[in-house]
Amino acid sequence: MELNTLLNALQTHLPEILRWSGAIAKRLRNFNIAVENKSSGSALTDALTLADLTLQELIVAALRDRDPIFRECRMEAEEKTGDLDRFSQDSPYVLSIDPIDGTKQYRDKTANGYCVMIHLRDSETVHYSLVYIPETGEQGTWVEAVHQKVVCGPDDLSRPAREVLDTMPAIDPETRPDSPQIYLIGFQDKDTSNARLVTEAGLQGVPPEEMPGSIYDHLATGAFGGSLIHTPNVYDFPVSLHIARILGGDAVWVHNGESVNFHEHWLDDRADMLRLPGITACSANSETLKILCELAKDWSQVRYQD
């Protein structure tokens, strides 16, 4: 399978699929759709709705049917729904779906920054990322990363989704602002206290309850400078990694400063999801990465202490 052929297929088909998914998410949000399923002890992680399950079913079916090349990829999806067995079991390329990132704020109607997202990666890095944020802006907001280019901007429902993305200017790393705000998540009951430590180190730590929405548009535009995440999952974090790398930064493990890869992961049985090991820092700014690594290098890499 040739990577550029796969990327062209993703760019062609995915925007309209995610736009449809976003429309369904907006509609379902009007109903009581909470589902009991996960038991990690974290309200953010355990939130699950019928919308998560429905959107994943739609996205997986669309990928199955739109182009045979998609079935040549492995599939990693946060939920269990969809015809996942139709996809390869041993491809070097992985399509990874988070049907609703920000499920708790979506379910509780506390904010509108939830998003639908998918990315393509191999064992070393991410090659394509697409994020649709249905209720940010008048008609939704896009983030797309591919071919060393990141775009972020408003949707226009009067035009085809691909056309909207094609007319967006690329974000220029030279003129992009560099916010000191750093998003922290995954530290269980220490998210807030660790955010204060980030602030004391000269940046501005932001715990989950203070986050205005998903990180991706904020990271792309420079409204946030990066993230510090304990054992990030493989469905959403890689998109931040992708954005940071295109904009001249990286995602690294804080204990050794090495670039994050996807050679190893572990199954979090409590949350029923795949995670990367350790604590990761992600930023387009190398100096920010140094500060975060120095601060967190000796923090425990064990997610659950009990």
- 143 and 244 in a common domain: no
We report the CATH number of the domain holding residue 219 as: 3.40.190.80
- 65 and 7 in a common domain: yes
Judge contact between 237 and 280, C-beta under 8 A: yes
Residue 63 placed within a domain:
yes
- 203 and 158 in a common domain: no
Judge contact between 114 and 103, C-beta under 8 A: yes
Residue 176 placed within a domain:
no
Residue 198 placed within a domain:
yes
- 114 and 14 in a common domain: yes
Spatial separation of the C-alpha atoms in residues 217 and 223, rounded to whole Å: 8
In sequence order, which residues have a C-beta less than 8 Å from that of residue 53 and are 6 or more positions away? Answer: 35, 79, 81, 99
- What are the tens digits of pLDDT across the range 109-161? 888 999 999 999 999 999 999 999 999 999 999 999 999 999 999 999 999 99
- 271 and 147 in a common domain: no
End-of-domain residue from the set 171, 198, 221: 171
Q: Which residues pair with 228 in a beta bridge?
A: 184, 281
- Give residue 30's pLDDT: 81
In which domain, by residue range, is 98 found?
A: 3-171
- Give residue 43's pLDDT: 40
Domains in the chain, number: 2
Task: List binding-site positions.
Answer: 78, 98, 100-101
- 128 and 28 in a common domain: yes
Task: List binding-site positions for Mg(2+).
Answer: 78, 98, 100-101
In sequence order, which residues have a C-beta less than 8 Å from that of residue 152 and are 6 or more positions away? Answer: 141, 142, 143, 144, 168, 171, 217, 220, 221
Spatial separation of the C-alpha atoms in residues 138 and 128, rounded to whole Å: 26
- 186 and 67 in a common domain: no
Judge contact between 61 and 81, C-beta under 8 A: no
- 28 and 90 in a common domain: yes
How many CA atoms lie less than 13 Å away from 98 in the CB half-sphere?
A: 27
Spatial separation of the C-alpha atoms in residues 299 and 184, rounded to whole Å: 14
Residue 303 placed within a domain:
no
- 139 and 187 in a common domain: no
- 115 and 203 in a common domain: no
Taking the model in full, what pTM does it have?
Answer: 0.94
Residue 102 placed within a domain:
yes
Residue 306 placed within a domain:
no
Residue 277 placed within a domain:
yes
- What are the tens digits of pLDDT across the range 74-93? 999 887 888 999 999 999 99
**Strand ranges (E), 58-208:** 74-77, 94-101, 115-121, 126-133, 141-146, 149-154, 181-185, 204-206
End-of-domain residue from the set 125, 141, 171: 171
We report the CATH number of the domain holding residue 140 as: 3.30.540.10
Judge contact between 140 and 22, C-beta under 8 A: yes
The one-digit pLDDT tens for each residue of the chain (306 residues) are: 899 999 999 999 999 999 999 999 999 888 766 665 544 344 444 446 778 889 999 999 999 999 999 999 999 988 788 899 999 999 999 999 999 998 888 888 888 999 999 999 999 999 999 999 999 999 999 999 999 999 999 999 999 999 999 999 999 999 999 999 999 999 999 999 999 999 999 999 999 999 988 999 999 999 999 999 999 999 999 999 999 999 999 999 999 999 999 999 999 998 889 999 999 999 999 999 999 999 999 999 999 987
Residue 302 placed within a domain:
no
End-of-domain residue from the set 143, 171, 199: 171
- 228 and 139 in a common domain: no
- 166 and 189 in a common domain: no
